[in-house]
Chain A
Amino acid sequence: MSDVVSAVLMLIGALSCLLGGIGLVRLPDLPGRMQAATKPQTLGLLAILAGTALRLELDSAVTLLLVALFQVITAPVIAQLLGRSAYRGGSVGHEHVVVDELAGRMPDDPSP
C-alpha cells in the first residue's frame, strides 16, 4: 500500500517537473518562463520528496521535510529577484502583459 502511494506521488512529481520543463521552452517571455520555472518544479519536487519519505524511516523523512521547507521558502525569493531584475532591465515583453500597475511608479535610475 505504501509502495503504491509512493509510486503515484513520484509519477505525479516527475510529470509536473516535465511540464515545467516544457513550459520553460515554450513560453514566450521571461515572466511566463519564471512561472514555469518556479511553480511546477516546486510541486514536482515536493511530490517526489513525499514519495521518497514514504520509503524511508522516520528520522530520514524528517530531514527530507527540511529540504522541502527550504525549497518552498527559497523559490519565491528567486522568482521575485528575477522578476524585478527583468522589469528593470526592460526584458518584459509588454505585448504579453495585460495589466501593468508598476508602469508609472518605477524610479528612473535602477540603483539597488
Chain B
Amino acid sequence: MSVVFFVVLVMLCLAAAFTIVRFLRGPDTLDRIAALDVFVILIVAAASVYIAIYRDGSNIPLLAAVALLGFVGSATATRLAERRKGHR
C-alpha cells in the first residue's frame, strides 16, 4: 500500500510541476490564473492522500477551507483581470 501512496504522490508532484511551468510561461494573465486554480486543486488532492495515509479524519475541514479559498481567489482574480483589460 505504501508503494501505491508513493506513486500517487509522485504523479501529483509531476502534475504540480507542469502547472508551475504553465504559471511561469503563460503568455496571458488568464493562463496564470487557470494554472493557480489547478495548483489549489492539486494541493487539496495531496492533502487528501495524506489523510488517507494516516487514516486521520481531523484535517478534513481544512480541505473544504482550502477548496473554498481557491474558488474565491480564482473568481476574484478573473474579474479583476477582465476589468483591467476592459479599461485599457
Residues on A lying within 8 angstroms of B by beta carbon are 3, 6-7, 10-11, 13-15, 17-18, 20-22, 24-25, 30, 33-34, 37, 41-42, 44-45, 48-49, 51-52, 55-57, 59-60, 63-64, 66-67, 70-71, 74, 77-78, 81-82, 84-86, 88-89, 91, 109-112
Q: Is the CB of A48 within 8 A of B22?
A: no
Given contacts A17-B12, A45-B44, A25 and B82 within 8 Å (CB-CB)? no
Residues on B lying within 8 angstroms of A by beta carbon are 1, 4-5, 7-9, 11-12, 14-19, 21-22, 27-28, 30-31, 33-35, 37-38, 41-42, 44-45, 48-49, 51-52, 55, 57, 60-61, 63-64, 67-68, 71, 74-75, 78-79, 81-83, 85-86
Q: Is the CB of A81 within 8 A of B52?
A: no
- B4 — which chain A residues lie within 8 A by C-beta? 7, 10-11
Q: Which 3 A-B pairs have the closest CB atoms?
A: A60-B57, A21-B15, A21-B18
- A71 — which chain B residues lie within 8 A by C-beta? 41, 44, 67
**Cα separation A15 to B49 with both chains bound (whole Å):** 14
